[in-house]
Structure 1
Amino acid sequence: MQIGQYLCAFIIFVSTLLTSHRNGNGVPSSANYVKHGAVTRHQSYTRIPDVQYGDAGNNDNLLDAYLPDDRNSHTKVIVYIHGGSWVQGDKTEFPKPLIEELVGKRKYALASLNYRLVKDGKNIFPAQIEDVKKALAFISAHAAEYRYNGNSFALIGASAGAHLAMLYAYGYDSLKQVKTVVDIFGPTDLSDETVRKAGSESNDIISNFLGTTEASVKIVEQASPYFQLTSQTGVPTILFHGTADELVHVNQSEKLYKKLQDLGIPSQIKLYPGEKHELRPPVAAGVFATMIAWLEKYYP
């Protein structure tokens, strides 16, 4: 569930493809919103870093907000959830060129989240889902003040973050605010033998996340997007996966995609032959283009 190599490649490649959309319309008042970081003014949006959305210590309940100049109560919000095997990673992983494209040019509001990470047996599941819920509630609560639609979210996640995005959307979004999910090689069924082989890295990671080595206990079902997905809870979902992924078997995406299709939920899967648990620059470019097209269709 590591994403660092993918993001580095992604940044290098898409930075050569994107240009910022300039327009410059003033800095929002952020005295009540920002808690720690300094507001940064860009030519077409404002960055408000280190906003505290919950009461967890350290940096666990912070988010970075990116607000476009030309926004109003209809401006839609995208939320990014980072990867890192639920034990590492940071909100700053979201690549700047993609921020420039989504916020600066396409005028989405964006939030990139930290959440509690598992460490020494603490913060095991469902701490992460609780944090996602807190973050979305916080963003909703500030919608009128900062001029965006606080009742509509697209969730983008990578690896462990994609797992959390899908899981929240399918199983824990009681307010039905999530309208679509972008999944970049996230695990979907934490009981499946493809990721639970004894002695495998993926099995160790999942056992650490859940606080149990058992693959058949109830918490495994509660933590698996595949089992939480129903015709009532499903939302349009696009899945990206390398067929040679050594950490999250491609079966995880294929299995979920089949269920989405069987339930009649709009969905798309993009498989990349021979790619592992990272996406090289040429593939990353395709992921980016397809992601944008998906958002234009299901979250314009």
Structure 2
Amino acid sequence: MHLFPEGTRLHGNIPYLDDTLSKHLLDIYLPAQPQGKVPLVIWVHGGGWLSNDKYADMGYMKGTVAAILQQGYALASIDYRFSTQAVFPAQMIDCNAALAYLFDHAERYGFDLDRVALMGFSAGGHLAAMIGLANNNQIDEFFHDEVSRKFAFKGVVNFYGPADLILFPGADDARSPEGMLIGAAPLDRPDLAKAASPVTYVDAGDPPFLLIHGELDNLVSPRHTRLLSSWLEVHGVHQEMIVVPGAHHFGPMFDAAEIRQRVMGFLEERFK
């Protein structure tokens, strides 16, 4: 618990579906002294849809993790199946099942369901964006049959998440991370690539976005964030974009004080 402020309460390894899969688990971190019902930030880890876990990204984002809890917000971090276990939309089905658990058990943990935001990193930024953008479309294929589907989000914080799978240099390779996600080279199956791309789901009913990307990112080009930013702007959705000078893909530069202040300012404004 050294990453977390003193007094943080952990509810760990909670199954969000009634099965035995190790990837169907989530963690909930509650602030030390909650004042009534608390806002909830849902953390979606990165790893190319094929690695890492619900603790990932917290190490280099420890200042932001601490700020979220010190502000009196709850934090929930979720696991989901890798593309090596199941192709898209399995990841969306899992994330939405985790959300259903959190919304259904809000009373138990003291969540304020009128103040919920998503935060994701790389592949997790992609999934957070997909959840936030597709939520109002209620796409059957993105949900487990037995979970509730009525979510509302005040905002999405997307750190360097892919926006359009066709934009990747490896879009012609089924063995690339994006190819493994959909089970085919995106250029060979543009229908699958479109279904798995956040830009597909942008409309005027979407929540506000804070988009953060490294200027020198050579794994997920900042073109992804610029594209999503422009689509959100065209549809009249509030969006803020930060391109971090000299930054590559992930790392402590994204936890710098000025970035952290923008993130917390965005959340505070959304949670008013």
Q: TM-score, normalised by structure 2?
A: 0.85
| C-alpha displacement of 1:209 | 0.6
Out of 255-264 and 139-148, give the one that drifted further. Answer: 139-148
1:296 partner SS: helix
Alignment correspondent of 1:116: 81
Relative distance call for 1:214 and 1:106 in structure 2 (3 A) is closer
Mapped pair 1:90 → 2:40: no
Which position in structure 2 is the counterpart of 1:153? 116
For the 8 Å contact 2:29–2:76, the answer to whether it is kept is yes
User: Is structure 2 residue 223 aligned with structure 1 residue 251?
Assistant: yes
CA distance 1:138–1:117, change in 2 (3 Å): same
- d(CA) in 2 for partners of 1:283, 1:109: 19
Q: Provide the residue aligned with 1:272 in structure 2.
A: 244
Structure 2: distance between partners of 1:267 and 1:214: 27
Match of 2:68 among 102, 107, 111: 102
Larger radius of gyration: 1
Q: Distance in 2 between matches of 1:162 and 1:146?
A: 25
Contact 2:165/2:186 (<8 A) preserved: no
1: CA distance, partners of 2:255 / 2:83: 31
> Is the partner of 1:116 in helix, strand or coil?
coil
Distance in 2 (alpha carbons) for counterparts of 1:280 and 1:179 = 26
Q: CA deviation at 1:205?
A: 0.9
Contact 2:232 2:239 in 1 (8 A): yes
How far, CA to CA, are the matches of 1:195 and 1:72 in structure 2?
Answer: 48
Q: Which residue, 246, 251, 259 being the options, matches 1:287?
A: 259
Question: Cα–Cα, structure 1 residues 229 and 203, in superposed 2: closer, same or farther, change >3 Å?
Answer: farther
Q: Could you list the per-position Cα deviations for residues 192-221 of structure 1 after superposition, in whole angstroms to 9, with x for gaps in the alignment? A: 2x444546xx97110001001143532211
Give the corresponding residue for 1:49. 12
Aligned identity (percent) is 28
Indicate if the aligned counterparts of 2:171 and 2:179 stay in contact, CA closer than 8 A: no
User: Which residue in the other structure is 2:199 paired with?
Assistant: 226
1:157–1:182 CA contact under 8 A, matched in 2? yes
Unaligned runs of 5+ in 2: 139-149
Give the letter aligned to residue 218 of structure 1: D
Q: Distance in 1 between matches of 2:182 and 2:54?
A: 22
What's the counterpart of residue 78 of structure 1? Answer: 41
Once the two structures are superposed, residues 269-298 of structure 1 have per-residue CA deviations (whole angstroms, 9 ceiling, x without a partner) of: 111233221345486333222111111112
CA distance in structure 2 between the partners assigned to 1:282 and 1:208 by the alignment: 27
**Residues 74-133 of structure 1: CA distance to partner in whole angstroms, max 9, x if unpaired?**
421110000000001111122454333212x211111011111122xx311011100111
Cα distance in 2, alignment partners of residues 61 and 282 from structure 1: 28
Separation in structure 2 between the aligned mates of residue 243 and residue 60 of structure 1, nearest angstrom = 32
In structure 2, give the amino acid aligned to 1:191: I
Letter in 1 for 2:91: Q
SS of the residue 1:65 aligns to: strand
Question: In structure 2, how many angstroms separate the alpha carbons of the residues matched to 1:64 and 1:101?
Answer: 18
Q: In the alignment, is the contact (CA less than 8 A) between 1:244 and 1:275 conserved in 2? A: yes
| In structure 2, C-alpha distance between the alignment counterparts of 1:72 and 1:218, rounded to whole Å | 47
The amino acid across from 1:110 in the alignment is: L
The yes-or-no answer on 1:242 pairing with 2:214 is: yes
SS of match in other structure, 1:91: coil
Give the 3-state SS of the residue equivalent to 2:112 in structure 1: coil
Query: CA contact under 8 A between 1:71 and 1:148: conserved in structure 2?
Result: no
